[in-house]
Amino acid sequence: MDASDTVEHQGRPIVIVSNRGPVSFEVDGDAPDGVRARRGAGGLVSGLGPMVRDTDTIWVAASMTDGDRVVAGRGVTTAEGFRVRLIDIDPDTWVAFYDRVCNEALWFAHHGLFDPVYEPSWPSGWADGPWEAYRQVNQAFAAAVARDAPADAVVLVQDYHLCLMAPALREARPDLHLVHFSHTPFAPPAWLRMLPGAVGRELLDGMAAHHACGFHSPRWEHDFTDSCAALGVPACRTFVAPLGPDEADLEATASAPATQAARAELDELVGDRAFIVRVDRLELSKNVLRGFDAYEALLDAEPHRHGTVVFGAFVYPSRQGVPAYDRYAQAVAARVAEVNERFGTATWTPIAYDPHDDYPRSVAALQRADVVLVNPIRDGLNLVAKEAALLTRRDGQLVLSPEAGAWDELGGNGAWRADPFDVGATARALGDALDAPPPERARRARELRAAAAARTPARWLADQLAAGEA
Ligand code: G6P
């Protein structure tokens, strides 16, 4: 797809709406207009960025920095090739919206992270406090889109942060075509009912007010329609459109000097040992702890592996304002120390753990890995699994949880299975993947690569646009 397809889709302009924007700004007294722009973080920007850059597409996003708030006052602004419209939200409302609702409530419900014995335990006032902040932020987004969207635009609303915009927007702007896309799984009825009062129902009403709702997997689509049926909400049209990696972008990173330097460092670190790798956001649903449990079980069961394997765990911090994430980060670091203490020797550190964001190093690790472990409890897609399949230089094997959306495409095409709670089976899968004979490794790697390359960001975007037309 070239840029012209995205500017005018069947004559319709495009508006993208997401919590995290494609550009963020820092206050800078030396800059001519008082702020300095830099590319935003996150997968959505790297996936969609190349297609909407230097086009008329307007991207509406939340302000997250002081510089963003300065820019929010200026309406639609062009920076780094993007036409962005930032929404100013006061910091307290922001924390209630993002930490309390998006990341402690909705994220947990969609990923099955509640532990019903202890939590959730909603305080009185939750529905009037944090949930009201979630409503307000969604209303602010809806008002901005109502004001700035060109006539007849297709509006692509991204993810669980923004589920309540559609009813107001439909009323204010009946000309717009509204599509919602969930990057997460979706909560089945039992987990949605764990949210307080009528929150689950309001969420579904908000989503069903779009012309169509999209998901990475038919399983999440089914959970959505099931929840709608259980809570008495007539569902809208739904569609399934898994995202795929941007191969050109990956290749560019893979051949960049920083990645080559990182690869040389990894060569030094690993030597002639086997290399197991994981690359994740430091995120509860990624199941990092049970990954180490499985590795420990493997070392316990098979002493001949001592000294012959290194587990590179390259994670990066996330959602540090949410106490459960801070506790998790500490638990992960402690577990690494335990395993290294137990098995390590003067010449061998079993786990090479690094919790700092270093994208070139992550890419280098996926190239260098003999086995990549992706064992989430539940995951909308997991793009890393697909990226690993494209990046490997050693017929790298993929040990994958069937609870990742990507399992639909990769499960029957070369991936080894690791049920996320079955530590013993994960340990065996790691061992089998490490020991697979070269012809089997090559076959699996070939199948994985073909399956991972089958979907592209352009295809994914085109599917959302088509859903807005139907
Ligand atoms: C998931 C979500 C995205 C989110 C990303 C990073 O992939 O589906 O919406 O942007 O995690 O999380 P963060 O909270 O840092 O934006």
Q: Is the CB of 285 under 6 A from ligand 1?
A: no
Please state at what angle helix 423-435 crosses helix 288-301, rounded to 10 degrees.
70
Same domain, 320 and 224: no
Q: How far apart are CA 58 and CA 391, in angstroms?
A: 32
Same domain, 225 and 363: no
Query: C-alpha distances in angstroms, 454 versus 5, 63, 157, 381?
Result: 20, 35, 24, 14
**Atom 3 in ligand 1: residue holding the nearest Cα:** 183
Q: Mutation test of ligand 1: which of 16, 285, 318 has the most ligand atoms closer than 8 Å to its C-beta?
A: 318
Q: Which atom of ligand 1 is nearest to the CA of 18?
A: 9
| Degrees to nearest 5, angle at CA 452 with 256 and 416 | 110
Pair of tokens at residue 161? 């942060």
Say if CB 76 and CB 13 are below 8 A apart: no
The band of 127, judged by pLDDT with boundaries at 50, 70 and 90, is very high
**Atom 5 in ligand 1: residue holding the nearest Cα:** 42
Q: Is the CB of 20 under 6 A from ligand 1?
A: yes
Q: How far apart are CA 32 and CA 418, in angstroms?
A: 53
Same domain, 430 and 388: yes
Give the distance (Å) from ligand 1 centre to CA of residue 338: 30
Q: Mutation test of ligand 1: which of 44, 65, 460 has the most ligand atoms closer than 8 Å to its C-beta?
A: 44
Same domain, 280 and 389: yes
The band of 10, judged by pLDDT with boundaries at 50, 70 and 90, is low
**Atom 2 in ligand 1: residue holding the nearest Cα:** 183
Which of 32-46, 281-295, 333-347, 392-406 shows the lowest per-residue confidence on average (mean pLDDT)? 32-46
Give the distance (Å) from ligand 1 centre to CA of residue 165: 19
Containing structural domain, residue 14: 3-243+458-469
| pLDDT for the residue 8 | 52
Pair of tokens at residue 102? 């998006």
Q: Per residue in 227-272, pLDDT tens? A: 999 999 999 999 999 999 999 999 999 999 999 999 999 999 999 9
| pLDDT for the residue 22 | 95
Same domain, 380 and 274: yes
Mean pLDDT of 112-132: 95
| pLDDT for the residue 42 | 77
pLDDT, mean over the chain: 96
Give the distance (Å) from ligand 1 centre to CA of residue 20: 8
Same domain, 229 and 183: yes
Which of 41-50, 99-108, 159-168, 258-267 shows the lowest per-residue confidence on average (mean pLDDT)? 41-50
Same domain, 124 and 215: yes
| pLDDT for the residue 9 | 61
Mean pLDDT of 18-44: 92
Mean pLDDT of 326-351: 98
Residue 156, helix vs strand vs coil: strand
Same domain, 32 and 159: yes
- Residue identified by tokens 């049970």 is 290
Q: Mutation test of ligand 1: which of 17, 19, 216 has the most ligand atoms closer than 8 Å to its C-beta?
A: 19
Same domain, 284 and 230: no
Q: Is the CB of 319 under 6 A from ligand 1?
A: yes
Mean pLDDT of 49-64: 95
- 72 sits in the region (left: phi over 0; alpha: psi -120 to 50; else beta) called alpha
Q: Is the CB of 159 under 6 A from ligand 1?
A: yes
The band of 1, judged by pLDDT with boundaries at 50, 70 and 90, is very low
Q: Is the CB of 42 under 6 A from ligand 1?
A: yes
Residue 6 pLDDT > 60, yes or no?
A: no
Neighbours of 374 (CB within 10 A): 27
**Atom 6 in ligand 1: residue holding the nearest Cα:** 42
**Atom 16 in ligand 1: residue holding the nearest Cα:** 20
pTM of the full structure: 0.96
Same domain, 310 and 403: yes
Same domain, 275 and 234: no
Reported residue count of the chain is 470
Give the distance (Å) from ligand 1 centre to CA of residue 206: 20
Q: Which atom of ligand 1 is nearest to the CA of 102?
A: 14
Residue 4 pLDDT > 80, yes or no?
A: no
Same domain, 447 and 463: no
**Atom 8 in ligand 1: residue holding the nearest Cα:** 183
**Atom 9 in ligand 1: residue holding the nearest Cα:** 159
Q: Per residue in 299-338, pLDDT tens? A: 999 999 999 999 999 999 999 989 999 999 999 999 999 9
Q: Is the CB of 317 under 6 A from ligand 1?
A: no
CATH number reported for the structural domain that contains residue 92 in this entry: 3.40.50.2000
When divided into structural domains, the chain yields a total of 2
